[in-house]
Structure formats: structure tokens, C-alpha cells
């Protein structure tokens, strides 16, 4: 089956020194991990198991939502995570189809299938990965794909077997990349496990960066016909526990940021994915320290440590929020000043020069709105167009998000042309930053996305992408502008 993918397949590569995110937050999560481990040791085996299973149940529910196998309401997900994957847990909310319940249960059971792997008594092998796929997908009979004749249909899923047909990976920007060809899957997975064995033993790379690398490379291979994301998330959860971290719990609320981070890793930057893993690991550790709602106070020293941890975590979160906002502000401001304003300034001059005639009235105005931390834009017209542009590329946009914009207005014989670009963070808690072009009478599907953690050198190297996007948009706008200024020629 031929795959018409936008980008060609590329082999996996080992982690590079330039791909290691450097962030003080890794020190903070290590401190939290030490306290979390100490607190968990004070629990009885039964209490520890309940809290750990609560994390695994949340993973089991949300991994299928991320894969768009089913939809689960927030209240349902909370009940299933807290009370167990049984129908009684949904009695106070609504019910779910039997097929969905069976899939969630299978995914939960698969997460508990490898205590020897987590303890280090069993090595990670290709046979284990295939066993995991079989366990995760045992209730899934078919998957939707295009057959050899190019027709979309349901195709039987071979549980635990490497794929025998080519497939592709959907990227966050709407394009696709061809995944590893079937004939190379076995060798690529073997290479991944060899590199992982070496990386796992290394003390130079933070555990979360190791995990981010492994997770992305397995997704990049895409060794199965379907279920690759679920396998990667489940295996990542097991490896995190092996490295003395909590299970991986990427909630459905992180879906957009997760796929954006994978797309960035596909371009060579692990920053977004490593930082997303850091955020969800921190949240899971704090959640595992929460007692049951009906649990009574017990050892006063345990309670005292819990109070201290909660206060310390809150203050650390407050400090990180300030630093996080500042990083976003600095990156957005630099992007505006270094990568956008120079191009618009040059275009303003060039357009006026090109139009300059004694009998032609023309004027051009350039407006720069630099970001203000947690403040909306002061221009309602630009704000309206940013919201519309974000919706066209299926992204969220927070009105009070840190946002900046540049707008070029050209007037010829009383007719106005407007082209602008806005750059903002995806949401108040996101590392993902986006630049989206907008115009008064033209809709664009283009976007440029980057990270608050990208280095200046990394962004400089991508400046041609920004210029190409803006030049394409300007060309479209100018064609429409011409038809308004000189309608008689059309």
C-alpha cells in the first residue's frame, strides 16, 4: 500500500548534545521526586497500591481519548480513575458502551503486566514490545486505513505483529511523514533498544530527557499497523517507573500540546516533549500524595510532612509561574523584534518604492504591538483577526495570553491592504508558541510554531521558514488588493 506522505521516512538517530533541554525546572522536579519517594515509603502496601492504581487507571482512560478511540467526559474519567474501571464507578454520572469499558480495562491490565521490567529483572526486548501491543489492542478487531486500491475501509488488526503495510505519521502542522517501511521495522526497533540500553546507563542526561528521546523514536518508527501511540505511552510509563519516576499520565487536556511536542521532536528538538513530561510527572507525583477523600488523619508527623510539601510545592509553582511567564515574554519579544519586524520594515519600504509615482497616492503604516505578560492586546481589530486565524488552524487562543503582533497597512488611491502576524503561547500553561498570519480579506492556513525553550540559534536557523510563510501570504493579499485598486483590469 503506497502512502502519499508529505515528508519522506527518516531513520531514528541517537540523542545529540544539542537536543538536551537545559532548564532549572529539572532540579526542582528532582527535589519533588525525593520528597514524593519519601512520602510513599511511609504508606502501607495497600495504600500505595491504591494510589498507584489511581494513576494507572487515569492513564488507561486518557490514552484512548488521545488516540480518538472513544470520548469520555471529565466526570466519567475522574470516577473511573478514583473508584475503579467498573460500571458502579459511573453510577453517579452516565454510562459508557461495553466496548469502551472493555478497551479501558484491557489498557489498564496491560499497564500492570510488567513488574519485572520495572524492577529491572527483565530486559526490554522486541518480544516484550509485541506482547504489550497484543495486550493493549486485544479488544480492537480492526483499524481504519486505505487499502491497496486507495479505498478507506476497516482492516483486521494483527495483534502483536509488526506492520506489513506502509503507514504515515500525522504531524502537528497538518502534514504527514512516512513512517519506517515494514521491511526495516525489526532492525530499527533493535537499534532503538541498543541505544536505549546505553542511554539508560548514562548519568549525563536527565531521566526525563532520556524518556522523551525514547518515546519519540518509538513513535517515529511506528512499528505497528495501529496502536503505536498507546504502546509508546504505556511503555514510557513503565520506563519512567523503572527510573524512579511516577507513571506517565498524559491527560486528554494535554492532547494538543503532546502532538505539538512530538512534531517539534520530529524536527530535532526534544525540549517541548521533555518539558511536557516534566509537567505531567510533577502533577502525578502531587496527585499520588493526595489521600483518599474519606481517609482520616493518621500519623501527625506524616501529616506535618504533607503540609510542608504542599506549601513548598505551591510556592515553587508560584515561582515557576513567574519565571515561565518571563520566558514566554522574552521569547515572544525576541521573535517579534528579530524575525518579524525587520521583514515587515523592509517590505513597507519596498512596496512604497515599487508603487511610487507622481500621480499615485500611497501610504504605508507599520504597527508593532509587543507582548505584555498576562495582558490582552489593546487593538480589538487585531484581536478579532487573531482569534479567527487561530480557529482556522484549529488552535486554542487565550485572550489574556502573552501575545504580540505586527501589522502592515498599505493604502493606494484610498484602498487599504492589511497583513499582519501574531505570535502567542498556545495557552497560559503551555511551552508551545505560535505565529499565525492574518489579513483583512484573506484566510490563511499557515502557521509557524516554536517553543519558549528554543535557543536563539535554533530560531535563527528557522528564519527562512518565517520569511517564506510571510512572503506567500503577502503575495495572496496583494493579488486581491490589485483587483480592488484596479478593478477594470479584471
Q: What is the pLDDT of residues 419-445, one digit of tens each?
A: 988 888 766 555 667 788 888 777 777
**Closest by Cα among 481, 360, 489, 339 to 419:** 481
- Say if CB 79 and CB 93 are below 8 A apart: yes
pLDDT at residue 425 in the model: 74
Per-residue pLDDT of 181-212, as tens digits, reads 999 999 999 999 999 999 998 888 999 999 99
- Percent of the chain residues topping a pLDDT of 90: 32
Look at the pTM and tell me if it is higher than 0.75.
Answer: no
- Is 70 exceeded by the pLDDT of residue 401? no
pLDDT > 70: percent of the chain: 81
- Rounded CA-CA distance 354/109 in Å is 68
**Distance, CA of 437 to CA of 389 (rounded, Å):** 7
pLDDT in tens, 46-92: 888 888 999 999 999 999 999 999 998 877 887 788 777 655 545 45
Residue 254 to residue 262: CA distance in whole angstroms: 12
Average pLDDT over residues 370-377: 68
What is the average pLDDT value for the chain, to the nearest integer?
A: 82
Q: Which residue has the higher pLDDT, 488 or 375?
A: 375
CATH number of 17-296: 1.10.3290.10
Report the pLDDT averaged over residues 443-471: 81
pLDDT at 281 over 90: yes
According to the model, what pLDDT value does residue 22 have?
A: 57
Give span(s): CATH 1.10.3290.10, the chain.
Answer: 17-296
What is residue 246's predicted lDDT score, i.e. its pLDDT? 95
How far apart CA 468 and CA 212 sit, in angstroms, is: 30
Q: Taking 60 as the threshold, does the pLDDT of residue 235 lie above it?
A: yes
Query: Among all chains, which residue has been given the C-alpha cell 527510573?
Result: 243
The burial of 65, by beta-carbon neighbours within 10 Å (0-12 exposed, 13-18 middle, 19 or more buried), is given as middle
- Which pLDDT value is given to residue 296? 45
Is the per-residue pLDDT at 120 higher than 90? no
Region 92-116 average pLDDT: 82
Angle at which helix 45-66 crosses helix 98-111, to 10 degrees, equals 130
User: What does the pLDDT average to over 362-383?
Assistant: 76
Q: Residue 224 — pLDDT band, cuts 50, 70, 90?
A: very high
Residues sharing a CB contact under 8 Å with residue 83, sequence separation 6 or more, in sequence order:
89
What pLDDT is recorded for position 343? 94
Amino acid at each position: 500500500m503506497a502512502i502519499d506522505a508529505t515528508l519522506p521516512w527518516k531513520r531514528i538517530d541517537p540523542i545529540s548534545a544539542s537536543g538536551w533541554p537545559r532548564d532549572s525546572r529539572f532540579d526542582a522536579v528532582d527535589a519533588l521526586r525525593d520528597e514524593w519517594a519519601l512520602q510513599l515509603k511511609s504508606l502501607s502496601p495497600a495504600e500505595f497500591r491504591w494510589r498507584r492504581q489511581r494513576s494507572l487507571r487515569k492513564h488507561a482512560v486518557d490514552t484512548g481519548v488521545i488516540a480518538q478511540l472513544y470520548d469520555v467526559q471529565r466526570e466519567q474519567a475522574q470516577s473511573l480513575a478514583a473508584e475503579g474501571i467498573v460500571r458502579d464507578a459511573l453510577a453517579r454520572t452516565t454510562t459508557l458502551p461495553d466496548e469502551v469499558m472493555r478497551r479501558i480495562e484491557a489498557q489498564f491490565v496491560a499497564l500492570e503486566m510488567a513488574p519485572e521490567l520495572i524492577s529491572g529483572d527483565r530486559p526490554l526486548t522486541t518480544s516484550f514490545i509485541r506482547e504489550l501491543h497484543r495486550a493493549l489492542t486485544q479488544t480492537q478487531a480492526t483499524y481504519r486505513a486505505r487499502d491497496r486500491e486507495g479505498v478507506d475501509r476497516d482492516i483486521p488488526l494483527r495483534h502483536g505483529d509488526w506492520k506489513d503495510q506502509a503507514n504515515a505519521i500525522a504531524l502537528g502542522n497538518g502534514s504527514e511523514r512516512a513512517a519506517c517501511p515494514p521491511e526495516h521495522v525489526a532492525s530499527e526497533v533493535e537499534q532503538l533498544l541498543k541505544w536505549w540500553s546505553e542511554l539508560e546507563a548514562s548519568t549525563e542526561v536527565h531521566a526525563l530527557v532520556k524518556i522523551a528521546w525514547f518515546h519519540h523514536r518509538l513513535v517515529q518508527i511506528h512499528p505497528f499497523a495501529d496502536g503505536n501511540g498507546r504502546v509508546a505511552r504505556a511503555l514510557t510509563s513503565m520506563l519512567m517507573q523503572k527510573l524512579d519516576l511516577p507513571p506517565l499520565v498524559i491527560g486528554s487536556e494535554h492532547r494538543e500540546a503532546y502532538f505539538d511536542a512530538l512534531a517539534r521532536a520530529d524536527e530535532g528538538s526534544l525540549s517541548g516533549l521533555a518539558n511536557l513530561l516534566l509537567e505531567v510527572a510533577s502533577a502525578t507525583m502531587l496527585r499520588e500524595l493526595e489521600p483518599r477523600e474519606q481517609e482520616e488523619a493518621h500519623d501527625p508527623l506524616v501529616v506535618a510532612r504533607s503540609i510542608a510539601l504542599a506549601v513548598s510545592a505551591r510556592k515553587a509553582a508560584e515561582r515557576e509561574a513567574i519565571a515561565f511567564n518571563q520566558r514566554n515574554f522574552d521569547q515572544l519579544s525576541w521573535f517579534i523584534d528579530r524575525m518579524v519586524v525587520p521583514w515587515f520594515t523592509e517590505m513597507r519600504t519596498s512596496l512604497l518604492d515599487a508603487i511610487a509615482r507622481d500621480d499615485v497616492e500611497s501610504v504605508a503604516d507599520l504597527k508593532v504591538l509587543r507582548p505584555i505578560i498576562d495582558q490582552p492586546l489593546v487593538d480589538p481589530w487585531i484581536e478579532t483577526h487573531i482569534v479567527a486565524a487561530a480557529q482556522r488552524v484549529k488552535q486554542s487562543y487565550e485572550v489574556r495570553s502573552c501575545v504580540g503582533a505586527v501589522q502592515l497597512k498599505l493604502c493606494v488611491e484610498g484602498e487599504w491592504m492589511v497583513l499582519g502576524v501574531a505570535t502567542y503561547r498556545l495557552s497560559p500553561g503551555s511551552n508551545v508558541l505560535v505565529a499565525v498570519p492574518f489579513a483583512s480579506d484573506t484566510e490563511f492556513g499557515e502557521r509557524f510554531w516554536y517553543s519558549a525553550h528554543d535557543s536563539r540559534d535554533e530560531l535563527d536557523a528557522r528564519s527562512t521558514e518565517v520569511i517564506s510563510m510571510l512572503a506567500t501570504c503577502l503575495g495572496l493579499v496583494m493579488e486581491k488588493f490589485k483587483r480592488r485598486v484596479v478593478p477594470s483590469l479584471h
